[in-house]
Each structure stands twice: as structure tokens, then as C-alpha cells.
Structure 1
Amino acid sequence: MSTNSAVLHAFDESGLQKFHWKTMFTTGMGFFTDAYDLFIIGTVTAILTPLWHLSTTQLAILNSTSLASAALGALFFGKLMDVLGRKAMYGIEVILLTLGAVLSAFAPSFGWLVLFRFLVGLGVGGDYPTSSVIMSEYSNRKNRGLLVTMVFSMQGLGLLAGPLIASILLSTGMSHAIAWRVMLGLGAIPAASVIYLRRKLSETPRYLVSVKQDQAKAAEIVSGLTGASVSPVEGVTQATEKPSFLTKKNLIRLIGTAGSWFLIDVAFYGNGVSSQLILKALLPNASLVTTTLVAAAIFLIAAIPGYFVAAKYMDRIGRKVIQSVGFGVMALAYLSLFLVPAIAKLPILFLIIYGVSYFFIEFGPNTTTFLVPSEVFPTRLRGTGHGMSAAGGKIGAFIGAFVLPGILKSAGLGSTMGLLAGVSALGILLTLITLPEMKQRSLEENEQPIAQQPSATKNLSVTYS
């Protein structure tokens, strides 16, 4: 064992400790905010359309701006965190989120609101690679899937908080002209709450060892966090080759992570279509408050459990199985609507199919596509790889939100669902062919050593207090 791997071995083999949960909270609150902002803009646009007389084109611009800027944010932050370090970039994305939310609340016109939503999107996109990679690199080997998935599960709570807060504000009789500003401004609170914690977080030991070659500092951090006595002394350490995405292994993995994320975000729109059909069928004359609460109830029952069941079983069942099963159930659900379009006219049956597919989206590719890119690349490429994967997902979301409605209008629900069934089936194939299983495996397996130097083992002692 080299000095490098021995320092990180102590980190990998530590049990779940207080610092793991503190890191999970620090990283997870960003995703709570991301999800809140994602939901609340739909209610805000419903309010602003009559107030500002927004056209269909303006609505499309407002809804798409944050998606486009999120893709840019993911690429930008992902790359810089590999170049400058995790600590250097962490907290900057939630500062952008906070600033964007506050400015959005005071936007004087449509143009300014679009600009401020662009700023929010940059923060949202930046949060994907930074939070996922940092939680992954701070995790131990046996519980990494649980911890990273729990970070992403905070998205579920944010998506639930959005409609609840919107419903409360609208139910108070607050003027719509004020309510939408309060809705957007409240998104600054959870983001601002973790700025200090993120800026104070230590550099990850894995980045210090693999990129900075600072074993002493890494050992100091590992000792402080785990209670293990890790004492490196001067000597030769194991070097690693500088990795590249142009190698066959990394390129195939990138195609798998970015491609899977792209496909799930395209297919995810199928549930968006379904939810609108359900609400129209069950509550054709309902108010905005009522439909908002119903949407929250459906999400609470069908989706929220999926996040946390995924977290519980991620390190037991494995990423590839959960992702493949999730894509498979989605394919079957969409295929049933394609083969038997009359189901759309039976609200209860439709609701059951919708709920099952929604559960397996969360207990499936919506969580695994966030986790896997933080595990399958070498440390020097991990942020960039996750950023490119997340950007692929945002492109998929854009297509799902703005291309599929035209297909739905011209080809009908059945054909649209048939297309989404095919997209989901492709997700199974891509998962099985391109992605390795990282369940309970060390991240250091991704590093490529230049030479073995057994003598380096003598340069480190590890004991546990």
C-alpha cells in the first residue's frame, strides 16, 4: 500500500460519523433550494402571465433560461473545482443562488427577471458537481451511496416545500403582485444558511492526495475527522498518470453518465404530461391553490418515498440494478399508455400507473444519475465529468420541456408515450453497457498508478483511537 492509498484507506474504512452527517446537511441544503426554485417558478409564471401579460414566447424564455444557465453552471464549476480545488469553489454556487433569488424578488420587469433567473440557474447548475463530488470524496467506502443519495433526496423535500409555501401564501389573501415576489425571495433563505458552512469546509483528502500531493495535510484532516492516527513521514509516494477523457475507459463512462442523465430528463417529462392529465381529469374546475396542493400530495405519496428507499438500498442492491430497474418500470408504464390509450380516460388507473412510475423514477435513474458521475472518474477529472454529465441532463430537460409538447400536440398522447418508452428502454441498455458497479468500492480504484513502490508503505503508520 502506498502512502497515498494508506491515508485514504483510513478514510474509506471509517464508520459513519458526525462529520458525514454534517457534510450531508451542508451539501443537501443546496439541493433543497434548487428544487424549491425549480417548482416555484411554475406557480410564479401562472401568476405573472395575467399581471404582466406574458406571451407564450416569453413564458418559454422564462422557463428555459434557468435550464440553459444550469448547464453552463455545471460545466463551469465542474471544471474549476478540478483545477482550483473543491474548497476554492464551494459556497460560490449558493452565493449565486442567494443573490439570484433576492434580485428575482425585486425584478422590475420581464427582462430583469430573466436575467436574475439566469443567475439562479448558474448556481443551481454549479451545485450539481460541487455537492455531489464533495460528498462522495468525504464519504466512506461502505456508505457512499447512502450519503450522496441523501444529499440528492433533499431535492424531494424542496419540491414538497414549494407547493406548500405557494399554497399558504395564496390562501392568506396576499396580493398576487406581492405573493410571487415573496415566493422567489424565500428561496434565498436555505441557500444563505449554508454559505458559511460550505466556505469553512476543508479541502477533501482525496483532492489533496491525488492532485496536490499533500499527504501531510490530508493525513491531518483524516485524523481530525475520523479519530484515526495517520502519521506520514517524508519519503517516496506513488505517482499516478494524468488522466484524460480521451482514454477508452473514461470516454465510455462519460457517454454512460451523461447519456443516462440526458435520457432520464427527457423521459421525466412523461410524468409531467401525466400529472397535467390527472389534474384536469380529477379537478377540471379547481383553483390554482387546489391544484397546487393536489400536486404536492401526489408528489408526497408517489415520489418522496422513492428518494429515501433508494438511499437505504443503494449500497446493498447497487447502482446499476437500481438504475436499470427504474428505467424498466418507466418503460413499462409509458408502454402501457401507448398500447392502451384508453387508460388516460380512467383517472384512478392512470393515477396508479403514474404513481408507480414516479416512485421508480426516484428509486431509479433520477438518483443514480446524480451519484454515479461522482464515483466513476479519477479525482483529477471527477468534477469535470460530473459537470458534463449534469449538463447532458439539462439538455435533456430542455428537450423534454420544449420539444415534446409539440410532438404531443401533433402525434397525440399515445405516440408520445411510445416515444418515451423507447427512451427509457435505451436507458437500460446504456446503463448495462457503459457503467461499472461502484457499490462499496473505493474511489481510488479509478486512479491509474505509474509505478508500484512497495517501500512507500513504510512512510505511513495508521492506528485508530
Structure 2
Amino acid sequence: MPSLSWRNVIVSGMGVLTDGYNLYSIALTSFFISSSFSFSKVELGLLVAGSYYGAALAALVFGLFADRLGRKSLYGLDVAIMAVGAGLQGLSQSYLELFLARLILGVGIGADYVLSPVIVAENAEGKNRGKMMVITFAVMWGLGAVIAAFVEQVTLALGLPNSLVWRIVLSAGALPALSVFYLRRRIYETLLFISRVRPEHRDVEKIERELGRPIPKKRDEVSFLKRLTSSALFIVAASILWLLYDMYSSTFAIYGPITIASNLGISPIMFTYVAQFLAGIPGQLICISLIDRIGRKPLIILGYAGVAVWLMAYSLLLVDPRVFGLSATSLSSSSLVGEAALLGFTFYLLNYLFSAIGPASIIGSAMIAPELTPTKVRATGQAITVSVDRLATALNITAFPLLLSHYGLAALVGFYAMIALVSSLITLLVIPETKGKELEIPLFQKGS
């Protein structure tokens, strides 16, 4: 595996870590923000979803420019915008200022969710591309969530006031973004963009010198619009899969440390650590070891089957603990207690494990669209999936507090279980297997 590929994994992964940090940090600090500003449930939903609205707006613009100008020309701008948005959060003096800061943060995240998956995919060998994308996205996102929990734990241990805790935790999200700004501005253009779209690019000689061989070049002469329309089915399918995945995944990521942790009687920080170290990381390691051997589809379908089973079990437990041989008193004021709380957390962790084995590590790693669309329209195709997903998820996150108060956690968890089953069917019927396949033309010689 050329060092060029792994360099892109590290540089791209830090942007994803920033996203994981910022998404999880708002979940951990939303309670503390209320000590500084007053807001309704709808306003809380809008605040939490602010970065998603920003991402939905920015993704399409960055995707179109990335296909026209190249990936390198925009890389670094995304993390700079993320850093500005994250830093402004800590300086906000009103609810409106904080919401606008999160919109700016989302613009950077949306740009990164277009550029990073495309860059990693276009510089990777077919035989290792799956594991590289899982490491870049699923692993680094989870690491960002753990770091967010750790930063908050430190601020609380220092006895800082709530009004300062949330400002420090949120603004610290600027640091991982800034750490890779220089490196992102120094990367080469991707191998596939050069070979299929811009063979005369000025980076050609530098890359060929590093690789020690010529880059195969075969310019794509088909029109942009024709390539885009011929990829429409896969772009739509990828958008729907990511949308459905994030309907439950992002909701759990944002509200889980508060809503589910409270339901189970544990602290948000402990909830984060246990979920990541006992379920998230083990699931990711399983996915990394299998994705380029057995393929994407089996892991997505197996993972979603597990998600459906364990979320439905959790839902039934919330409805009536007696289904599992426990007393009715195990459910007290919509919260599980005693053995029921332990069983509920076990169900949630098993759901998290199976999600990490397949859906979270593959769909959540933005792997579908980049592997199924031609280089000429790859960034635009990815941008469409990001915009659709972020906008739909933003609306879902905004509405969740109201839905929770109206329907209850049991009904919502059961609904998410059904989403898993629908997603399995879409994967089975529409998505082709891409295991070991080059995206368009082989870029690496055997043994390179």
C-alpha cells in the first residue's frame, strides 16, 4: 500500500474526528447551555441540528466545485470553516449567536463530508479501500466522541461553572480541525481525478516521482450531465440509505447521552465511554477485518438484522418489562431501574455493536456513493447524498424532543428498528457489491 494512501487516511480522518467531537459535544453540553440561555424544546432541537442545516446547504456547492476544480483546491478550507464555527460557539452571548455559530460549523462539516470520502476512495487500492474508509470515518468519528466526553469530564473535575463548561467543551472542537489545515493544503490531487478528469494537472510529476511509475491516464470524454444521470439510481439509493441510517444513528448520538443514559440511570460521560469501548470499537475492528474479504453487503445486512432485533427488544422492555420475566416495577416513571436498566443497556450495546459491524462503519462512513459513481461526478454524487441526509436528519433531530414527549422512547426505538429492516432490503435489492473492485481503472501495479 503506497504511503500516499495512508497519508490521506490520517489527514482526512482528523476532519471526521472533528465532526464526531462537535456532534457529540453538543449532546453532552446541551443541559449546561440551558444555564446560560433559555429556549424551548423546538429551539433546543434547532440548536442541536444547526450543524446539519449548515452541512446540507454547503455540500452541494463544494461537490460541484470539487468536480470542476479538483479535490485539492478546496481541501483545508473545510477544516478552517469548522474551526471558525467551533470557536465562535464558545464566544456566543445569545441563543441566536450560538445557533449561527453551529450553522458555520456545519458548513465546514458538509464540505468535509463531500471531500474526505472522495479523496480517500480515489487514492486507495480496491483490495484495501474498504478498511481504509472505515478507519478514516467510523474509527475517527468514534474517537472524536470519546475525546468530547473526556474534555467535559476534565472541566467538571476542575469544578468549573456550567456556563464555562459548555463554552470550553464546544470551542475545543476547533483544535483538531486546525491541526490538519496545513497538511490538507499540502496534499496532492487524487490519482483518479488526474487520470480520468485532469491528466495535465501540475501534480502529475510529483505523484509519479513518489510512486516511482507513471499514473495510467484515460480521460473521461462523456459529458458531466450524462455521467450524473446514468448514476442517478445509485445516488438516490445511497441518499436514502444514509438518510435512514442517520434518522436513528444521529438521534441516538445526540440524544443518547442524555435521554437513554437517563432512562438507564447512568451519567452521559459513562454512557459514552461504555458504548464506544464495549461496542463501537469492537464492532469497527470486526468490520475492518472482514469488509475487504466478505464484502459490504453481507456486513450491512447482518448489522442491520442485529440492530432491528436488539432495538425491538429494547422497545418491548420499555413497554412492559414483564415480557422478559421482570416485574412491572422495573419501569418507574418511564425509566428502567435495577435489572431492567442493566438489561436495557445490554440491548442498546448489542444494537450499537451490530451497527458498528455494518451500517455505521459502511453507510455511516459515506462509502456507498463514492464507490458507485464515476470520477467525473463523484463529488457531486456524494454532495447530493450529504445534502439529502443532513437536511432530513436535521429535521428529525429538531422534531425529536417533541416526538419523544408525545410518543415516548419505546415507540421511537421500535420505529428505528423498522428502519433497520427497510434499509436491509434496499441494500439487498439495489446496492451492488464493490469488494475488491477498482473504482474505474487500476491505479496500482501488483506488488506496489
Q: TM-score, normalised by structure 1?
A: 0.84
Distance 2:167 2:381 in 1: 36
Q: Answer yes or no: is the 8 Å Cα contact 2:82–2:108 preserved in 1.
A: yes
Identity in percent: 28
Aligned to 1:440: 436
Aligned to 1:85: 70
Distance 1:258 1:390 in 2: 7
The DSSP-based 3-state class of the residue aligned with 2:214 is: strand
Give how far 1:248 is off: 6.6
CA 111–50 in structure 1, closer or farther in 2 if over 3 Å, else same: same
1:210 to 178, 196, 200: 196
Aligned to 2:106: 121
Aligned to 2:175: 189
The DSSP-based 3-state class of the residue aligned with 1:174 is: coil
Distance 1:151 1:277 in 2: 29
CA 104–85 in structure 1, closer or farther in 2 if over 3 Å, else same: same
The DSSP-based 3-state class of the residue aligned with 1:88 is: coil
CA 29–463 in structure 1, closer or farther in 2 if over 3 Å, else same: closer
Distance 2:310 2:89 in 1: 38
Structure 2 residues without counterparts, runs of 5 or longer: 322-330
Q: What is the CA deviation profile of residues 194-233 of structure 1, one whole-angstrom value per residue up to 9, with x for unaligned ones? A: 1111011111121122112328954x34423323x2288x
Give how far 1:42 is off: 2.3
* 1:324-363 correspondence to structure 2 within 5 Å: 324-339=301-316, 341-343=319-321, 345=336, 346-363=340-357
Q: What is the CA deviation profile of residues 131-188 of structure 1, one whole-angstrom value per residue up to 9, with x for unaligned ones? A: 1100111112211111111110200100111011101111101233322222122111
Give how far 1:325 is off: 1.6
Distance 1:318 1:191 in 2: 32
* 1:43-442 correspondence to structure 2 within 5 Å: 43-152=28-137, 153-214=139-200, 218=204, 220-227=205-212, 229-230=213-214, 239-244=220-225, 249-268=230-249, 271=252, 276=258, 278-283=260-265, 290-339=267-316, 341-343=319-321, 345=336, 346-369=340-363, 370-442=366-438
Distance 1:276 1:212 in 2: 49
Give how far 1:329 is off: 1.4
Give how far 1:69 is off: 0.7
Aligned to 1:12: none
Question: Would you say 1:17 and 2:2 are equivalent positions?
Answer: yes
Q: What is the CA deviation profile of residues 331-375 of structure 1, one whole-angstrom value per residue up to 9, with x for unaligned ones? A: 222233455533474122211211111012222112212112221
Distance 1:427 1:27 in 2: 27
Q: Answer yes or no: is the 8 Å Cα contact 1:278–1:347 preserved in 2.
A: no
> Is 47-56 or 398-407 further displaced after alignment?
398-407
CA 442–395 in structure 1, closer or farther in 2 if over 3 Å, else same: same
Q: What is the CA deviation profile of residues 94-115 of structure 1, one whole-angstrom value per residue up to 9, with x for unaligned ones? A: 0101111222222222222211
Distance 1:274 1:114 in 2: 21
Structure 1 residues without counterparts, runs of 5 or longer: 1-15, 447-461
Q: TM-score, normalised by structure 2?
A: 0.87
The DSSP-based 3-state class of the residue aligned with 2:231 is: helix
Give how far 1:385 is off: 0.8
